[in-house]
């Protein structure tokens, strides 16, 4: 790909990927390009969050029974408003909205399904810690574009995603995405004065084994024996490193995941008994685990619920939660082995 005076832009990159796919119609390019516009708007708002009345909560709780932050709502609204009119989607699913988001009748519909977490790490918004947007894209299973979208069409296993990725709003704004199938995982950094995402991390591959473990040990007492054994494995010396892994935990999934993607390591949000109503952990399968599982898989890593691949789970509901072990393949396989008792 020809490098221009400012480097390789995300649009250039998406178009070059499109040219490699003979069936491509440009629909996917339009979809991704509009999502990027939404992320730029969110990034601008996040960057000035401390200056305007956008910090703090709305006083409402969302479908997850969690406090809604003002920026959550803003991000959700921006994505829905940007994406609903492009004519490439048949519906959307958001962490912030209980049911499927339909495409208003006045707009044309398309063959893609977008699921997203508009602002991940919302508990970190007020304290200026990196937060992000996570997304996964599927194709409809029903070939009749006019047919009404049924929830079951959206509840596809993560392996069916045609693309996935995330934006991080941190020291700089970054986009990382993949279209799978060996096309690789690529990172782009927003160049503020140009307002364009430029290729900064090409073909990201995660180290096979890491030196970092990320988990909220504050939940230790709510874990079962096997889960405690996993964390003790990484923080002890009887492991592949013969010394403790380094503990790092930001509390924003995108930030913890991204660090480990570049440096190697394992992020864990195990099942816990903290909230008997949520025995399967905190993180959402469709809008958090699946997109990151596609990214890490394409980068040579692995994502498991402790018993098997996240990407193979058939979702039973839109806001289903799963235990998540994700990152360097050998580290996640260790965790899986300790849970299944093979280790």
Residues that bind ligand FBP (CB under 6 A): 66, 95, 117, 120-123, 216, 251-253, 282
Q: How far is the CB of 182 from ligand FBP (least distance, A)?
A: 29
CB 332 within 8 A of CB 304: yes
Tally Cβ neighbours within 10 Å of residue 201.
16
Nearer to ligand FBP, 107 or 220 (CB): 220
Nearer to ligand FBP, 113 or 134 (CB): 134
d(CA 5, CA 273): 54
Q: How far is the CB of 1 from ligand FBP (least distance, A)?
A: 33
Torsion sign, CA atoms 12, 110, 118, 51: positive
Buried b (16+ CB within 10 A) or exposed e, 241-273: eeeebeebbbbbbbbbbbbbbbbbbbbbbbbbe
Nearer to ligand FBP, 122 or 178 (CB): 122
Nearer to ligand FBP, 119 or 334 (CB): 119
Pairing of β 212-214 and β 185-191:
unpaired
Buried b (16+ CB within 10 A) or exposed e, 135-174: bbbbbbeeeeeeeebeeebbbbbbbebbbbbbbbbbeebb
Q: Which two tokens stand for residue 199?
A: 């290729």
Q: How far is the CB of 214 from ligand FBP (least distance, A)?
A: 9
Q: Give the N- to C-terminal CA distance of the chain in Å, as an integer.
A: 46
Q: How far is the CB of 315 from ligand FBP (least distance, A)?
A: 17
d(CA 228, CA 267): 14
d(CA 269, CA 217): 10
Nearer to ligand FBP, 191 or 222 (CB): 222
Nearer to ligand FBP, 173 or 214 (CB): 214
Q: How far is the CB of 70 from ligand FBP (least distance, A)?
A: 14
Nearer to ligand FBP, 10 or 215 (CB): 215
d(CA 101, CA 281): 25
Q: How far is the CB of 290 from ligand FBP (least distance, A)?
A: 14
Q: How far is the CB of 320 from ligand FBP (least distance, A)?
A: 14
């Amino acid at each position: 790909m020809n490098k221009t005076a400012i480097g390789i832009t995300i649009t250039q990159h998406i178009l070059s990927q499109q040219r490699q796919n003979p069936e491509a119609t440009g629909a996917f390019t339009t979809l991704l390009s509009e999502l990027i516009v939404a992320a730029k708007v969110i990034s601008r708002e996040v960057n000035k969050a401390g200056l305007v009345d956008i910090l703090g909560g709305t006083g409402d709780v969302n479908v997850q029974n969690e406090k809604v932050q003002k920026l959550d709502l803003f991000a959700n609204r921006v994505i829905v408003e940007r994406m609903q009119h492009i004519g490439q989607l048949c519906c959307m699913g958001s962490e912030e909205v209980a049911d499927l988001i339909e495409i208003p009748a006045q707009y044309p519909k398309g063959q893609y399904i977008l699921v997203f977490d508009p602002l991940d790490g919302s508990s970190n918004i007020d304290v200026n810690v990196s937060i992000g947007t996570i997304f996964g894209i599927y194709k409809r299973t029903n070939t009749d574009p006019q047919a009404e979208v049924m929830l079951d069409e959206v509840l596809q296993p993560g392996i069916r995603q045609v693309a996935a990725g995330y934006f991080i709003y941190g020291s700089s704004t970054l986009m990382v995405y993949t279209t799978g199938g060996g096309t690789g995982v690529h990172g782009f950094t927003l160049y503020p004065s140009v307002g364009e995402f430029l290729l900064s991390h090409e073909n990201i591959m995660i180290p096979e084994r890491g030196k970092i473990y990320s988990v909220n040990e504050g939940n230790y007492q709510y874990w079962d024996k096997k889960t405690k054994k996993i964390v003790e494995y990484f923080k002890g010396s009887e492991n592949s490193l013969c010394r403790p892994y380094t503990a790092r935990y930001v509390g924003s999934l995108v930030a913890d995941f991204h660090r480990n993607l570049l440096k190697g390591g394992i992020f864990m949000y195990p099942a816990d008994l903290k909230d008997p109503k949520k025995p399967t952990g905190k993180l959402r399968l469709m809008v958090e685990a699946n997109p990151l599982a596609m990214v890490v898989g394409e980068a040579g890593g692995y994502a498991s619920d402790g018993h098997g691949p996240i990407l193979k789970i058939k979702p039973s509901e839109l806001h289903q939660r799963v235990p998540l072990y994700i990152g360097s393949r050998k580290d996640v396989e260790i965790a899986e082995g300790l849970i299944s008792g093979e280790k």
